[in-house]
């Protein structure tokens, strides 16, 4: 940490109560505490970051130094405090469990979407345990957030296009529940003829049969799929 002084002024060692030095010490303490409060996965992300940082030496000279990990995080935090009086904005860490309606974890996959660059994109994730998905790089200022899940034998009742969660809502969204998938019903043309006779209205069009009405046959339950 450097404090610019005019020639002849006391040094920081002799001038411990200077306003600039006090503010720098406070910012240093805030930045160190902020880094210590990060989760292990967030610290692992910062350890992989490396950047060139310009800093000021004595007599107004500036130099560039390569920083990484904790040193880089604290340097950027101090700069943010000096310029904006706000702490550095870091990605949030969100853990969501993929479950059935009874909150039993499911083997499948979960996606979290947000508008990072103005377009929808899914965020990096890790499955830390069966059904438990950890999103360690959730940007705080990119709402709305959408969640979508898939699992064998289950379907997602939530339509991603209708979801619009804020960050506060996402932070308390711990479970993404799926419902049992509806089995597809297939049939042969002989059964189609049978049900047409019992309540379908069939019209021949372009060599194909268009089914216009719903099933009204007795004891029929489910959907009819024609391929």
- Please state whether the predicted TM-score (pTM) of the whole model is above 0.75: no
Q: How far apart are CA 221 and CA 211, in angstroms?
A: 17
Task: Residue 120: name the closest of 170, 181, 161 by CA.
Answer: 161
Which tokens is 175 given? 């479970």
Nearby residues of 205 by Cβ (< 8 Å), 6 or more positions away: none
Nearest Cα neighbor of 175 from 202, 152, 156, 203 is 156
- Which of 30-39, 111-120, 160-169, 187-196 shows the lowest mean pLDDT across its residues? 187-196
Spatial separation of the C-alpha atoms in residues 120 and 139, rounded to whole Å: 13
- Calpha distance 227→225 (Å, rounded): 6
Identify the DSSP state of 38.
Answer: S
36-50, 73-87, 102-116: range with highest mean pLDDT: 102-116
> Domains of the chain: which residue ranges?
19-84, 92-180, 183-227
212 versus 96: the higher-pLDDT residue is 96
Distance from chain centroid for Cα 82: 29
Supply the pLDDT for residue 210. 47
DSSP-derived secondary structure for 132-152: EEEEEEE-TT---BEEEEEBT
Name every residue whose Cβ is closer than 8 Å to that of residue 36 and which is 6 or more positions away in sequence. Answer: none
* Best-predicted range by mean pLDDT (40-44, 102-106, 155-159, 218-222): 102-106
Right CATH for 92-180 from 3.30.1340.30, 3.20.20.70, 2.60.40.10, 3.40.640.10:
2.60.40.10
State the average pLDDT over residues 75-100: 87
Is the per-residue pLDDT at 56 higher than 60? yes
In whole angstroms, what is the distance from residue 110 CA to residue 84 CA? 36
Q: Report yes or no: 195 and 217 within 8 Å, Cβ to Cβ.
A: yes
**Amino acid 39: pLDDT:** 81
Question: What DSSP line would sit under 152-221, residue for residue?
Answer: TTEE--S-GGG--B-HHHHHT--EEE-EEPPPPPB--HHHHHHHHHTT--EEEETTEEEE-S----TT--
- 154: nearest Cα among 135, 181, 131, 134: 181
pLDDT score at 10: 52
Q: Which residue has the higher pLDDT, 163 or 17?
A: 163
pLDDT at 216 over 70: no
pLDDT tens string 60-71 = 677 788 888 888
When pLDDT is cut at 50, 70 and 90, the band that residue 208 belongs to is very low
Q: Which of 54-68, 104-118, 142-156, 209-223 comes out lowest in average pLDDT?
A: 209-223
């Amino acid at each position: 940490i450097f404090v610019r002084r005019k020639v002849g002024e006391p040094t920081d060692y002799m001038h411990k109560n200077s306003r600039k030095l006090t503010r720098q010490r406070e910012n240093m303490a805030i930045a160190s505490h902020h880094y210590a409060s990060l989760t292990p996965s967030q610290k692992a992300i910062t350890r992989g970051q490396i950047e060139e940082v310009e800093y000021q030496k004595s007599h107004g000279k500036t130099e560039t130094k390569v920083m990484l990990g904790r040193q880089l995080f604290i340097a950027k935090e101090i700069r943010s405090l000096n310029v904006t009086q706000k702490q550095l904005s870091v990605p949030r860490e969100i853990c969501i469990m993929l479950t059935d309606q009874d909150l039993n974890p499911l083997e499948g996959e979960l996606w979290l979407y947000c508008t990072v660059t103005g377009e929808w994109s899914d965020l990096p994730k890790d499955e830390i345990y069966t059904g438990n998905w950890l999103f360690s790089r959730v940007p705080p200022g990119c709402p709305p957030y959408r969640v979508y899940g898939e699992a064998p034998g289950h379907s997602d009742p939530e339509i991603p296009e209708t979801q619009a969660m804020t960050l506060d809502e996402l932070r308390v969204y711990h479970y993404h529940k799926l419902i049992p998938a509806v089995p597809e019903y297939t049939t042969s043309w002989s059964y189609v003829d049978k049900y047409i006779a019992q309540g379908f209205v069939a019209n021949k069009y372009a060599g194909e049969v268009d089914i216009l009405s719903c099933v009204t046959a007795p004891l029929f339950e489910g959907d009819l799929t024609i391929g």
